[in-house]
Amino acid sequence: MVKSVIPLLAAFLLFACKKKTEKTNPTQEKITESVYASGVVKSNNQYQVFSTVNGLVKEVLVTEGDVVKKGDPILKISNVTAQLNNENAQITADYSSVAANADRLNALKIDIDIAKTKMDNDASLAERQRNLWNQGIGTRNELDQRELSYKNSVNAYKAAQSRYADLQRQINFQAKQSQKNLQISNSTAGDYTIRSEANGKVYNILKEKGEMVNTQSPVALVGDATGFTLELQVDEYDIVRVQPGQKVVLTMDSYKGRVFEAKVQKINPIMNAQSKSFLVEAIFVTPPPALYPNLTTEANIVIAVKDKVLTIPRSYLIDDSYVILASKEKRKVTTGLKDYQKVEIINGLTVNDIILKPAQ
């Protein structure tokens, strides 16, 4: 039993010894510092289509994958109440039009003509009675009666003109108001046909015939047919190092084993408070042969690249500033660029130095 334990103990001591004495030399090589980002592919001008009215889907006019132009119909919504309101607005507009009220205006014109004829006649009689009075013929009472009749006919004539003008203004107002209501009703009726707001491709139809539609839920997803953008999430600790124009190296699950290149185009200047990240937009330098919205991607945004610099494995670095030499000396070093495995040593080491990996 003792003989079997001794070899095991020796092997353990040998393994521990090897672990403690793991060492390496600084090497000269290329190093690339980058910022990690995850994200998705979005079609350019991608947007969710919403309805501005409530109702039921009467007809789906496109299928997923169809290319549409701006203004092309996507869905039709059914709403009987809106249709009846539109018909009622049309009836009101027809009834309130100037042409429909021509008889009322003509009746008042006749009243004006009658009142004017009477006024002219009373004016003539009053003038005649005044001449007779000046000649000493007739009584004062007869003259007063003629003049009073004339004044009354003048007032009646003016009143007839006023009624005509009031009716004309009322009809014009009602006609304009009913036409406006009809236009509003027609425009609202147009809302029951949901149309594309831009040229593009229909990527998703979210409602089927007979389903209820409201103003809060999207009914379709539309975007550019060929142009795509990468939407990357960058941590708040790294965002200050990201700039437009920087190179992006990325991979996608849809193209396993392949690496694609993109370029940072835009940095949205507000942080997402929940994820503590910033949205960075990038465009493909050479896009894959086929792309679809919402494909996932993992990317590295290249911050800086240096050729032939002195590097050591990051696991050999202590507190980001020290290394252990083979002589057990703890030496301070100045670091530069870092990637996931290596770190640049600007000062403190040479290629001839041997350093030990610190115990984990």
**Are residues 199 and 65 part of one domain?**
yes
**pTM across the whole model:** 0.57
Q: Is 239 helix (H, G, I), strand (E, B) or coil?
A: helix
Half-sphere exposure in the Cβ direction for 135 (13 Å, CA)? 8
**Are residues 115 and 177 part of one domain?**
yes
**Are residues 166 and 32 part of one domain?**
no
Q: Taking a C-beta distance cutoff of 8 angstroms, is the pair 342, 314 a contact?
A: yes
What is the reported pLDDT for 300?
93
> What are the C-alpha distances in Å from 327 to residues 281, 298, 348, 355?
50, 42, 15, 9
**Are residues 160 and 98 part of one domain?**
yes
**Are residues 331 and 243 part of one domain?**
yes
Question: What are the tens digits of pLDDT across the range 196-246?
Answer: 988 999 999 999 998 998 889 999 999 988 889 999 999 999 999 999 999
CA–CA separation, 194 vs 282, rounded Å? 31
> What are the C-alpha distances in Å from 22 to residues 277, 339, 350?
38, 21, 18
CATH code, domain with 207: 2.40.50.100
CA–CA separation, 106 vs 100, rounded Å? 12
**Are residues 66 and 40 part of one domain?**
no
What tokens appear for 240 in the block? 């200050």
Q: Which residues span the domain enclosing 26?
A: 22-44+227-360
What tokens appear for 46 in the block? 């991608």
CA–CA separation, 100 vs 89, rounded Å? 15
Paired sense of beta strands 218-223 and 200-205, if any: antiparallel
DSSP 65: T
**Are residues 258 and 205 part of one domain?**
no
Beta bridge partners of 265: none
Q: Which of 2-6, 84-88, 176-180 has the lowest mean pLDDT?
A: 2-6
**Are residues 278 and 235 part of one domain?**
yes
Count of domains observed in the chain: 3
Q: Taking a C-beta distance cutoff of 8 angstroms, is the pair 82, 53 a contact?
A: yes
Question: What are the tens digits of pLDDT across the range 248-292?
Answer: 999 999 999 899 999 999 999 999 999 999 999 999 998 898 888
11 lies in a domain? no
* pLDDT higher than threshold 70 for residue 141: yes
What is the reported pLDDT for 78?
81
**Are residues 60 and 112 part of one domain?**
no
Q: Taking a C-beta distance cutoff of 8 angstroms, is the pair 51, 214 a contact?
A: yes
**Are residues 299 and 339 part of one domain?**
yes
Q: Taking a C-beta distance cutoff of 8 angstroms, is the pair 309, 29 a contact?
A: yes
